[in-house]
Structure formats: C-alpha cells, structure tokens
Amino acid sequence: MKLLKKQLKPFVNKLSRIIDERDIITDQNTIGPHLIDWVGNFHGNSPLMITPRNKEQISQIAKLCSNENIAIVPQGGNTGSVAAGIPNGEIILSLKKMNKIIEINPNDYTITVQSGCILSQIQEAAKNASRFFPLSIGSEGSCTIGGNISTNAGGISVLKYGNMRDLVLGIEVVLADGRILNSLKRLRKDNTGYAIKHIFMGAEGTLGIITAASLRLFPKIENKVTGFASLKDLDSAIKLLEILKEFSGDLLTSYELIPAIGLHIATEYGDNRTEPLKNREQWNVIIEFSDTKNNNNAHDILQESLQHSITQGIVLDAVIANSISQTNNIWKIRKAIVEHQPKLGGEIKHDVSVPISSVPEFIQTTIEKLREYIPNIRPVPYGHIGDGNIHFNVCPPIDYPEQLFKDKTSDIREIVYSNVNSLGGSFAAEHGVGIIKKKQMLKYKDKVELEIMKDIKALLDPKNIINPGKIL
C-alpha cells in the first residue's frame, strides 16, 4: 500500500510516461509543507508528490496505482483540521495545478471549475459576472473547491445558502480503478435514479478524486448590513434568531455566537483594541443581513428587529455598523477567536452540531461537566449558532501546565461528544472526521450507516488505495 523506498525509482519511471517530470516531486523540502495539517497536530510522511494537470492524467495515475497497489492521498489546499489530507507513507496527489474556471453561465446562474480552484478565485469570478457564490470560510484565500466539496464545507452563510452539498449541481470524479465519472450537469432537477454525486460530498477523498464541479450561483449582493448585539442570557440567542427571521424573511445571512471570552481574546491578542459595545456581556451575537437591492431596506429592518428585541428584554444593547471599517472591526472579533485561542495556554477543538433549540442547553451543560472535571477550565463556545453548529473549543485554566492539559484531551473530548450525542447532535459538523474522529465514528455513528459506508468503500475502492485510513 505504501510506496517503499525500493519501489520509488521504478514507480517514478512509470509515472514519467504519464505526466511531465516537473510534476513528479521527491524533494522532501518541497513536500514538507504538505505533510502537516493546518492546526499542526499531525505530521505525516510521503516519499512522493505528484501534481497532474488534467483528469486524463489522474485517470492513468489511478490505473497505475491500482495495478501496483500503491495508495494515494488526494490533497487540495491542505487547510483541513482533522488530518484527512495527511499521508502516512502514501503518495500525495496534489490538485493545485488543476485550477481553471471551465465555464461561467450567468443566465443559468452556474459556474463550472476544476477542483484545484481556490475558493476566493471562484468568488471573484462570480462577482465579475455580476453573480454571487456564497461559500465563505476563514481559509477561503487558500482552500480549494475540491477540498470544500470533499469535506462538505459550511461557513458563515449556511443559514441562508446551505452547506457545500447544497451548492453543487454536478461533479466529475476519477475512481480508484481509473474510470471517470462524468456528472457535470448544470441542472436543478435530475430524477434519473440514485444521486451518485452526493456520496462523494463529505467523503473526504476516500471514494474517488474530485476533478471538477458545477456550482450554483446567486444574484449579486448589493448591500450588507452588520450588527452586534449583547444578550440578556444564552436562551435569548434563540429568541433573537426567531425575531430576526420573522422580521427579515430571507435577508438574514449570518448569525454568529460570540462569548465574553471571545471578546477578551480579540481585544487582548487581535487587532481589535475597542469593542463594539461598552459593556461586555457574557453572550453576544454578530448579525449580518444581505440584500440584492441597493437601498436602506436591510438596515431599517435590522434596526427595527433589534429595537423590538430590546423592548422585549432579549437584547441589552446593540449597534449597527455604519461604515466598512466598523463592519470589518466586528468581523475581526470572529476571526481573532480562531487565530488567537492557543495563546490562552493551548486549546482542544471541537466542531459539533445540535438542534438549534438545544444549543443553550448543550453549551450550559457541557460547561458544567467540564468544570466538574477541571475547575476553572475555560470553554470558548462560538460560531454558527444560526444553524446549530458550535465550535466548542476548550482552553486550560490560567497557569495550568500545557502538557498536562494536552494529556487530558481524550477525556475532554468524550465529555463534549457524549453530551452532543445525548442531545441528538453530531460530533462532526463541518470539518469532517479524518483521522481525529474515527473513534467517535465507531462509538456514535448508527451501525447500519457504518455498514453501508463500508460497503460503498469496498465497492468503489476494493483495494483501499484512495486515502486509506480516513473516516472508517
């Protein structure tokens, strides 16, 4: 399965008949950055990285690897947080050179791209065509669309537009035996049997190599309005969400939970030296409305809904950004939480989801259980409360030994995940399973679902050469 040292030279010779020698990389200094996951928890190894330029080359490579029993790890921007794209002796198949916009059709509201396209590149192409591609995540300047599809990426706009799976109309995939699945249709409706394309979305590259995709576009956004609100309590987050939906219809795009400790992180370590509101409350939210009309409608509705929430005692105070700099300052808070949490002495990350109505109960009970385990532990629950997806990260108490905290990772994760499961939630909301959460797959995933997943893997990849050891 792994490419052994003695196999390297003859295998490279065979590869050179398929792809240019410039696309065959054995230099470990060049390969090195591709061996470490984005958060730095996993360090892999690989004797070889290849950078093919088209689907035909990938098809031939897959056939060769199948014949030679050599495993492949597909890799996009390598921005994942569960080590799904990290090799353990397998060869790396990087899709970074397959980065072309194949076609954009404004009338159909579609764009067809190769899988190595950077997300921001697609956003910009849509904008230039007076259209809008809604996926927005922190790594959008470096992540690739193939990786986004393979992990069923979410982000801050899921509330309005859905996950990556909801944005894909068709895909092209090279299977383990070299066959090319061509399902790049740009159709909203296609009831011709099983929706095969969906099994590759969220599969983390274990069922095939996604080489291209047709994606949905939307009308161009002409106006965005951002607000920041301090809440009476955590339950008020759900009450405010309902009011915003009632007042705004489909204008509500993002609804992000920000705890007081998140504000502390942003002002202490980030670029934010001032907070949006004078009084720091325990629970706060970032609200964003987006509108295809360039008028004051979104601003007025947000203002009206916040005023109503204040009179109801749900919101204690609120502010609406009236400039680009104020908007950026609000969103910098959200970004700073992600970037600077480790400065609290380390962090243990959890990306989970529960039913929206259960979010307050989940956060409160999980905090209680964690503090029973380690008094004064510092949970940092934040993120996409509008769709029930919480990044429930955990930092140690002040002056707590960092290594001792790391040693308790397994126990802390079990506290979080067991509570998620008890509320009918998921231990992997938008970042996938990879290597990190395989244990939880066995423990919490429905047994029949697991059996079906294993059957599908065995059918499409009987030799287990496409990203082996991930998910299952």
341 and 284 Cβ atoms separated by less than 8 Å: no
CA angle, corner 368, sides to 367 and 374, nearest 5? Answer: 85
For residue range 423-435, what is the model confidence (pLDDT) as tens digits?
A: 999 999 988 999 9
DSSP H or E stretch at residue 56:
helix 55-68
Q: What is the pLDDT of residue 101?
A: 97
For residue range 366-411, what is the model confidence (pLDDT) as tens digits?
A: 999 999 999 999 999 999 999 999 999 999 999 999 999 999 999 9
Helices (H), 341-471: 359-373, 402-407, 409-422, 438-444, 447-460
- Supply 468's token pair: 């082996």
User: Domains plus CATH for the chain?
Assistant: 5-97 (3.30.43.10), 101-219 (3.30.465.10), 223-341 (3.30.70.2190), 345-433 (3.30.70.2740)
Measured between alpha carbons, how far is residue 95 from residues 141, 185, 230, 457 in Å?
16, 21, 44, 22
Spatial separation of the C-alpha atoms in residues 379 and 358, rounded to whole Å: 18
- Work out the percent of the chain whose per-residue pLDDT is above 70: 100
Residue 12 in 3-state DSSP?
helix
For residue range 88-146, what is the model confidence (pLDDT) as tens digits?
A: 999 999 999 999 999 999 999 999 999 999 999 999 999 999 999 999 998 899 999 99
Instruction: Give the N- to C-terminal CA distance of the chain in Å, as an integer.
Output: 17
Q: What is the pLDDT of residue 272?
A: 65
From edge to edge, which strands make up the β-sheet containing 72-75?
24-25, 49-50, 91-94, 72-75
Q: What is the pLDDT of residue 169?
A: 97
For residue range 285-343, what is the model confidence (pLDDT) as tens digits?
A: 999 999 999 889 999 999 999 999 999 999 999 999 999 999 999 999 999 998 899 89
Q: What is the pLDDT of residue 273?
A: 65
Q: What is the pLDDT of residue 91?
A: 96
The letter for the amino acid at 223 is N
382 and 337 Cβ atoms separated by less than 8 Å: yes
Give the DSSP letter string of 259-283: EHHHHHHHHHHSS--S-SSSSPPSE
Spatial separation of the C-alpha atoms in residues 140 and 21, rounded to whole Å: 30
Whether the predicted pLDDT of 41 surpasses 80: no
φ, ψ of residue 72 in degrees (nearest 5): -125, 140
Query: Which residues have CB under 8 Å from 467's CB, separation 6+?
Result: 71, 72, 73, 74, 84, 85, 90, 204, 205, 206
How much is the average pLDDT of 273-292?
A: 88
For the whole model, what pTM was predicted?
Answer: 0.93
- Give exposure, 82-118, as e/b (b: 16+ Cβ within 10 Å): bbbbbbbebbbbbbbbbbeeeebeeeebbbbbbbbbb
For residue range 150-185, what is the model confidence (pLDDT) as tens digits?
A: 999 998 999 999 999 999 999 999 999 999 999 999
Q: What is the pLDDT of residue 80?
A: 87
Average pLDDT, the chain: 94
Spatial separation of the C-alpha atoms in residues 35 and 37, rounded to whole Å: 7
The letter for the amino acid at 448 is V
Q: What is the pLDDT of residue 279?
A: 75
Spatial separation of the C-alpha atoms in residues 288 and 302, rounded to whole Å: 9
